[in-house]
Amino acid sequence: MTKNKTNQKISLEQFADRMTAVMRKMARNIMSAERNYLTRGVITLPQLWILQEIADAGKCPMLSLSRNLGLKSSTLTGIMDRVVGMGLVKRFPSESDRRQVLAELTPKGRHILEHIHAERHRSLIAAFGPLSEKERADYLAIIEKVADQIAAKEVKKCRRQSVE
């Protein structure tokens, strides 16, 4: 059982060590309760990210996928070949610019993504249900703040790289 160490002062190094262990434990326990394409190893995490990016964008240019995911075009092409082969995504030339290749989820890809999201939703409700509303709100505020800071650093990094 974990002791409540909320008021304990720890160094940033100790914090990083504890967060690494806690995040690994949370991910393992949440994912062990799920039975979907991702948790069974049928699709990989990068493949899931691609499916999510395409779902968010609708018809998505391959170049945009590559940039948004921070992948080299050759890496993206290899991953896309696999998800296309699985029948999760279709690729086709743009009607307005035949040089541009677009990607779109197939009904099977959309179904799998919806199933993964529904399972994750149920898992998170089960994991965070025992916490109070205030604890959940506090946790969410901190996680969103960290996510925003990480995203801001990535934008700055991309801008620096494009200038160099």
Secondary structure class of 147 (helix, strand, coil) = helix
pLDDT of residue 85: 97
Q: Are residues 103 and 141 in the same domain?
A: no
The total number of structural domains in the chain stands at: 2
Residue that has been written with the tokens 């197939």 in this structure: 106
Q: Are residues 121 and 47 in the same domain?
A: yes
Buried b (16+ CB within 10 A) or exposed e, 145-155: eeeeeeeeeee
pLDDT of residue 155: 59
Q: Are residues 115 and 163 in the same domain?
A: no
pLDDT of residue 104: 96
Residue 50: which residues within 8 A CB-CB, separation 6 or more? 65, 69, 76, 79, 80, 83, 89, 103
Instruction: Report which of residues 79 and 6 the model is more confident about.
Output: 79
Q: Are residues 114 and 76 in the same domain?
A: yes
Which structural domain range is residue 137 located in? Answer: 132-164
Q: Are residues 22 and 55 in the same domain?
A: yes
Assess if residue 5 is contained within a domain.
no
Query: How distant, in Å, are the alpha carbons of 5, 56, 161 from that of 50?
Result: 38, 10, 23
| Over residues 146-163, mean pLDDT | 69
Please compute Rg for the chain using Cα positions.
19
Instruction: Report which of residues 4 and 62 the model is more confident about.
Output: 62
Q: With beta carbons less than 8 A apart as the criterion, state whether 56 and 64 touch.
A: no
CATH number for position 36: 1.10.10.10
Q: Are residues 93 and 35 in the same domain?
A: yes
Listed residue (66, 45, 42) closest to 54, CA to CA: 66
Asked if the model's pLDDT at residue 1 lies above 80, the reply is no
Q: With beta carbons less than 8 A apart as the criterion, state whether 108 and 88 touch.
A: yes
Instruction: Report which of residues 41 and 10 the model is more confident about.
Output: 10
Q: Are residues 164 and 99 in the same domain?
A: no
Assess if residue 153 is contained within a domain.
yes
Q: Are residues 120 and 42 in the same domain?
A: yes
Q: Are residues 91 and 124 in the same domain?
A: yes
Q: How many whole angstroms separate alpha carbon 23 and alpha carbon 163?
A: 35
Query: What letter represents residue 21's amino acid?
Result: A
- Digit-coded pLDDT (tens) for 49-99: 999 999 999 899 999 999 888 889 999 999 999 999 999 999 999 999 888
Q: Are residues 104 and 150 in the same domain?
A: no
- Digit-coded pLDDT (tens) for 102-144: 999 999 999 999 999 999 999 999 999 999 999 999 999 999 9
| Over residues 41-56, mean pLDDT | 93
Q: Are residues 139 and 69 in the same domain?
A: no
Q: Are residues 156 and 106 in the same domain?
A: no
